[in-house]
Amino acid sequence: MSEIPRGDANANTSDRTSLFEFDLDSLGQEVTAMGLPRRTAGQLLKWIYEKGVTDFEKMTDLSKDARAQIAARFCTLQGAVVRHQVASDDTQKLLIEWADLGAEAPPEGSVMRLAGGAGTATERQTETVLIPTDDRKTACVSSQVGCPVGCKFCASGIGGLDGNLTAGRIVEQVWRLGRLEGVGRVSNVVFMGMGEPLANFNNVTQAIRIMNAEWGLGIGARKITVSTVGLPPAIRKLCAFEIPVTLALSLHAPFDELRRKIIPWAEYSTIDELLDACQEWFVKTGREITLEYILLGGVNDRREHAEELARLARSMRANVNLIRYNEVDGVPFARPTSGDVHAFQEVLRAKHVNVHIRASRGRDIAAACGQLRHEARV
C-alpha cells in the first residue's frame, strides 16, 4: 500500500464549481457570461482531459487575468485521496474523501434511507477501483456515498446512504484512476462501485456524457456499463438516454422470496416486473443485458437456482455473469466452492445460456465486488 498526499491543486473548493461538472456547451455559456471568449471552454477542457493538468497557473495559453477569473469561479479536483492500495494482481483502489457531499442527501423517511439511515458527517468517502487486463483498463466507479439498497452480502450499504455524488465527482474518479502511474487511458467504465446508479439518475447520465465525449474522456458508449439492482421506472427512463450504454441487472436470486431476503429493495419490484423493464430496454435499444449473479455458498448456488436462472435468462436473451461471493467482515455468508461454481455454470450452459465466471480481482485489498466501503479501515 502506498500513501498519497491529501493536498490538491485547488484547495477550499466549497464555494466554487468543479470544471468536471461541465460539458462543452454549458462551460461555454459560463465563460462567456464572465466576459471571456467562448473558446476558453475548449481550452480548459483540453488542459484537463487531454493534458491532465488541473492547476490553473499551468494553463499557459490563457492570459494571467483570465486564469485569475477562472480560479475565482471554478475549481478542478474536489476530493482528496487518503489511501491508495495496490493488490497482488495489479488492481488498484483509491479511497477519496470529499469535503462535502456536493449534492442534496435524500430526506429522512424516503425509500433512499431504507437500508439503515444516513451516514455521519465523517462518512464522506468513496472507494473507486482500477482493474487492468492485457487489453483494457476498467474503472469501477461509485455513484453514491454509501448505498441505500442494503444487500445483505455487500459492504457498501453498511451504514446506509450518506448522499449522491455529483456528475463531476463521478468523472473525477475516472480521471484520477487514469492519472495513476503506468495506467494511461481508462478504456472501460463500470458503475459497479458504491451506490445504486439509477437512484442518482441525472448525475450518472451527465457523468456518462462527459466520459463519452471526444473533448472529455473519450470512452466508447458500449464500454460504459450501468449496473442496477433494479428500478423498473428508471430502467425505462434509461431506454431514452441518447448514449447507448450497456445495462447490467444485479439479480442475485431467481426467486422473489429468496431475493427479498438478501436484497431489501426487492420488496418494491418483483423479478417479473424487472425483466419486463429489461425486455423493454432490449426492444428499444436492440442491446442485450447482462444478469449479474453473486453466488453465496449454500444460499443461491444450488441446481434449482441455476435452472430457474437459465429460464429467466432465455426468456429475454440475456447474458449471465457469475460472481463468487467476496468475504466481508461481519457478514454471515460463505464463498462457494470452485466445484459448486462450475457445476452451476454447466447447468446454464446446458440450457444454452451465454454464461461467464467473473474473476474476483483485488480481493487482498478488499477491492473486489461487494467489498467497497465508505469509510477508512483502521
φ, ψ at 127 (rounded to 5°): -110, 145
pLDDT for residue 375: 58
List C-alpha distances in Å: 98 to 172, 259, 366.
Answer: 11, 33, 21
Set 196, 292, 369, 375: catalytic member: 369
Instruction: Classify strands 79-86 and 92-98 as parallel, antiparallel or unpaired.
Output: antiparallel
The residue to which cell 478504456 is assigned: 187
- Considering the entire predicted model, what is its pTM? 0.91
pLDDT for residue 277: 97
d(CA 141, CA 352) in angstroms, rounded, equals 32
Set 127, 172, 196, 375: catalytic member: 127
Is 127 considered catalytic here?
A: yes
Is 75 considered catalytic here?
A: no
pLDDT for residue 151: 93
pLDDT for residue 374: 59
3-state SS of the chain: helix, strand, coil percent to 5?
35, 20, 45
pLDDT for residue 12: 56
pLDDT for residue 376: 52
pLDDT for residue 170: 98
pLDDT for residue 178: 96
Full pLDDT tens readout for the chain, 378 residues: 333 434 454 455 668 999 999 999 999 999 999 999 999 999 999 999 999 999 999 999 999 999 999 999 999 999 999 999 999 999 999 999 998 765 554 444 444 433 334 444 445 899 999 999 989 999 999 999 999 999 999 988 888 899 999 999 999 999 999 999 989 899 999 999 999 999 999 999 999 999 999 999 999 999 999 999 989 999 999 999 999 999 999 999 999 999 999 999 999 999 999 999 999 999 999 999 999 999 999 999 999 999 999 999 999 889 999 999 998 888 889 999 999 999 999 999 999 999 999 988 888 888 778 877 755 543
What are the chain's domains?
A: 17-75 (1.10.150.530), 79-365 (3.20.20.70)
* Cβ proximity of 119 and 374 under 8 Å: yes
Largest CA distance in the chain: 69
Length of the chain: 378
φ, ψ at 81 (rounded to 5°): -75, 115
DSSP of 236-298? HHHTT-SS--EEEEE---SSHHHHHHH-GGGGGS-HHHHHHHHHHHHHHH----EEEEEE-TT
